[in-house]
Amino acid sequence: MIKTIDTLKTGRKPLKRTNKNIRLIIGALLDKRAHDIIVLDVRKISGITDFIIVAGGSSDRQLKTIADNVISSFKPRPLGQEGLTAPSSRWIVIDYGDMIIHLIHDDLRLYYNIEGLWPDAKELLVESSFEKKSF
pLDDT recorded at residue 75: 87
Q: What is the DSSP string of 10-55?
A: SSSPB-----HHHHHHHHHHHHTT-EEEEEEE-TTT-SS-SEEEEE
pLDDT recorded at residue 86: 79
List the domains of the chain with CATH numbers. Answer: 2-128 (3.30.460.10)
pLDDT band at residue 55 using 50, 70 and 90 as cut-offs: very high
Residue 2 identity? I
pLDDT recorded at residue 128: 56
pLDDT recorded at residue 16: 56
- Record the pTM: 0.83
Handedness of CA 82, 121, 35, 18 (dihedral sign): negative
Can you tell me the distance from the alpha carbon of 114 to that of 121, in angstroms, rounded to the nearest whole number? 12
Can you tell me the distance from the alpha carbon of 18 to that of 123, in angstroms, rounded to the nearest whole number? 11
Can you tell me the distance from the alpha carbon of 78 to that of 93, in angstroms, rounded to the nearest whole number? 10
Can you tell me the distance from the alpha carbon of 84 to that of 23, in angstroms, rounded to the nearest whole number? 22
pLDDT recorded at residue 6: 47
pLDDT digits (tens, 9 = 90+) for 74-129: 888 999 999 888 778 899 999 999 999 999 999 898 899 988 899 888 888 786 54
pLDDT digits (tens, 9 = 90+) for 27-51: 999 999 999 999 999 999 988 999 9
pLDDT recorded at residue 15: 56
- The secondary structure of the chain in percent helix, strand, coil, rounded to multiples of 5, reads 25, 30, 40
Crossing angle of the two packed helices 60-73 and 20-31, in degrees rounded to 10 = 140
pLDDT recorded at residue 133: 42
pLDDT recorded at residue 125: 79
